[in-house]
Structure 1
Amino acid sequence: MALSTARPRTAATGPPPTTRARGPRLALALIRTGPLLMLVAVVVTASALSPVFFTTRNLGNVLAQTAVIAILAMAQLLVIITRGIDLSVGSTVALAAVVGALTYEAVPSATLVVLAMLGTGLAVGTVNGVALVWGRLPHPFIVTLATLSVAHGLALWLAGGQPHRGMPDVVQLIGGTSIGWLPYSTLLVAALALLVLLLTTRLVWGRWIYAVGGNPDGARRAAIPVNGVLISVYVLSGLAAGIAAIITAGRLNAGSPTFGELAELDAIAAVVIGGASFLGGRGSVANALVGALMIGVIRNAMNLLNVDAFIQPIVIGVVILIAVELDVIRGALERRFQVMRAVAA
């Protein structure tokens, strides 16, 4: 009688799947909180290098300097979630501020000045959205680059290339005054952040923008009004530029065609540092604010330490590269974790 040569089954060695998945899960959680951890590290480093950094006066300066970037970043976030980009916001800030200053010279009415600046932002945002959707342009980069140039030229032409002094008291209050050390502009940023958070998490429209960015073809098949969603995010981006113009003009008590230079890059950088993806469908208001604060803190710290102005853009660029690399690592860990969780199931 032949003997069986089959080997008996032995128990699987190694840790169970749930234990193996714990490591990637922890790493993924750390990567997801990466922007906040980076901000904490920057704040700790700045406070260690400069005793002035953690004074209330300097913290107020950081918040005041970050307000414009934060407002533009929140709106830029909505655009980037839909796989878009808005390069025109910096020039729109300048144009809106100039229109506000000229309105104040003609009719010294605070209401008209504020409406003029907000209306200018809305007009540019509407042009961007409508031209993108109805013009069937291949990418928003093209239309927003065009409106960047047009808005910049209009601001220079209307202002005659010179700043125009004078703003209503309410504009100066919003942009240039504080409650103790806390700027009024920070309160406005907090209110807008709460509003954007509610729009993106509590309304159907918020789910729509994530769906449009995550899978545009699927969104159309699901009867989501993709064109309307795209127009709405660019309109809101233009409106945010108008609000940023109010803060900038109030802080400097003027409207100038040089306002908002490279502000669009700061806003995009803040969103990218916050973990949003140009592939769309991902990003949060909180992380966009963290990214804006990080840029503000880094610039403030470099000014306190008398870092060469030519070196500062290099530092910001390195931070952006680190943030993008963290996003790549996060994506790889998510895919690995999903595979391990499927094996464990």
Structure 2
Amino acid sequence: MSTNVLKRQSPATAWLAGNGALVALVVLAVAMSLLSGDFLTVTNLLNVGVQAAVTAVLAFGVTFVIITGGIDLSVGSVAALSAIVLAWTTTSAGLPWPLAILIALAVGLACGLVNASLIAYGKLPPFIATLAMLGIARGLALVISQGSPIQLPDAVTHLGDTIGDYLPVPVIVMVVMGVITAVILNRTYTGRAIYAIGGNEEAARLSGIKVNRQKLITYALSGAFAAVAGVVLASRLASAQPQAATGYELDAIAAVVIGGASLSGGKGRAFGTFVGALILAVLRNGLNLLSVSAFWQQVVIGVVIALAVLLDTLRRRTTN
């Protein structure tokens, strides 16, 4: 019966079903603009974009993992570790900042490869493997920095600046990483393999896809994206802090799920993740403008995440 119902859906209904997050974002933005006269100002909208940037970049990396049916709880800690490595190599080691950024990205990539190796070859559940990396990366960040923030050189802090009056660099980075994510998912063999593994891992293996190799690529991408997010966050703060990005992994996962990805794998889009990150940023920004307590903000965002997962569950039941 559910199949017949789906066949009878009008194009408009089908579009709404596939773009629910975008509709929710528009409704949320309209509501916030009515509740606060400061919301639709150019300055505030740019602020929303900057606030969304780090979460969005993290979420783009997590999107690859969730589509395969996995999870990555380590991205916040990997972001902090990469930022600390960047700061340490430019200060204590005295390396040029472009080389230091490459090393920071390599650290994120390496963390992702370790995660993938534990999952693909060590047969650890993704939850356990990435939870272990969460602790390892955070601990290394504290060890390298000795628990104290490390100042970044001015050349790196410019990554957190604004070009002219209306073009924040973090927003540019966010858009670029989003485009890269979309290209990988829609235009490459790896992208097709990621969807196939998430849809049915055994069927993907029998069809000739080297599942373990693709998992290495998937988690490596997640780690590299986390490193980019760490660099952006550190540049905004003008220093690398070992406790930075704590809890960001939950925001990243939430953005992916709110954007329409399925935690069971096989479904997800770069644009949906981008919209999910914007929803979280608009929600937090609007609640701040309305002077809502930070404690209640956590409650509201928790409810939004729960609703997103519930809708995903209901959608899967309907289509099965």
- Normalising by structure 1, report the TM-score: 0.87
What is the match of residue 126 of structure 1? 113
Identity across matched positions, percent: 43
Structure 2 unaligned blocks of 5 or more: none
SS at 1:306 equivalent: coil
How much has 1:58 moved relative to structure 2? 0.8
SS at 1:101 equivalent: helix
SS at 1:316 equivalent: helix
Determine whether 1:44 maps to 2:38: no
1:83-122 correspondence to structure 2 within 5 Å? 83-106=69-92, 107-122=94-109
What is the match of residue 190 of structure 1? 175
**Per the alignment, do residues 25 and 324 of structure 1 end up closer, same or farther by CA in structure 2, a change over 3 Å counting?**
farther
What is the match of residue 64 of structure 2? 78
What is the match of residue 261 of structure 2? 276
What is the match of residue 208 of structure 1? 193
How much has 1:257 moved relative to structure 2? 0.5
> Number of aligned pairs?
317
How much has 1:22 moved relative to structure 2? 3.1
SS at 1:310 equivalent: helix
What is the match of residue 312 of structure 2? 327
124, 143, 146: which one pairs with 1:160? 146
SS at 1:83 equivalent: coil
Greater shift in the superposed pair: 103-112 or 63-72: 103-112
How much has 1:307 moved relative to structure 2? 0.7
243, 246, 250: which one pairs with 1:261? 246
Cα deviations across residues 22-60 of structure 1 (Å, max 9, x unaligned)?
A: 357754432222111111111111111111111111111
CA distance in 1 between counterparts of 2:6 and 2:82 reads 55
How much has 1:119 moved relative to structure 2? 1.5
CA distance in 2 between counterparts of 1:167 and 1:298 reads 33
1:16-31 correspondence to structure 2 within 5 Å? 21-23=7-9, 27-31=13-17
Cα deviations across residues 217-244 of structure 1 (Å, max 9, x unaligned)?
A: 1011101010011111100011011101
SS at 1:52 equivalent: coil
How much has 1:67 moved relative to structure 2? 0.5
CA distance in 1 between counterparts of 2:70 and 2:6 reads 38
CA distance in 2 between counterparts of 1:238 and 1:330 reads 30
**Per the alignment, do residues 99 and 22 of structure 1 end up closer, same or farther by CA in structure 2, a change over 3 Å counting?**
same
What is the match of residue 213 of structure 2? 228
136, 146, 159: which one pairs with 1:174? 159
Amino acid aligned to 1:63: G
Conserved 8 A contact 1:31-1:330: no
Q: CA RMSD in A?
A: 1.9
CA distance in 1 between counterparts of 2:271 and 2:164 reads 24
What is the match of residue 238 of structure 1? 223
Determine whether 1:287 maps to 2:272: yes
Determine whether 1:146 maps to 2:135: no
Cα deviations across residues 166-212 of structure 1 (Å, max 9, x unaligned)?
A: 2341x222223334222111112112211211111111221111001
Structure with bigger gyration radius: 1
SS at 2:38 equivalent: coil
CA distance in 1 between counterparts of 2:138 and 2:153 reads 21
Determine whether 1:59 maps to 2:19: no
Conserved 8 A contact 1:24-1:333: no
How much has 1:281 moved relative to structure 2? 0.5
235, 253, 261: which one pairs with 1:250? 235
Amino acid aligned to 1:292: A
CA distance in 1 between counterparts of 2:9 and 2:126 reads 40
SS at 1:42 equivalent: helix
Amino acid aligned to 2:144: L
What is the match of residue 289 of structure 2? 304
Structure 1 unaligned blocks of 5 or more: 1-16, 336-345
CA distance in 1 between counterparts of 2:118 and 2:6 reads 51
How much has 1:321 moved relative to structure 2? 1.9
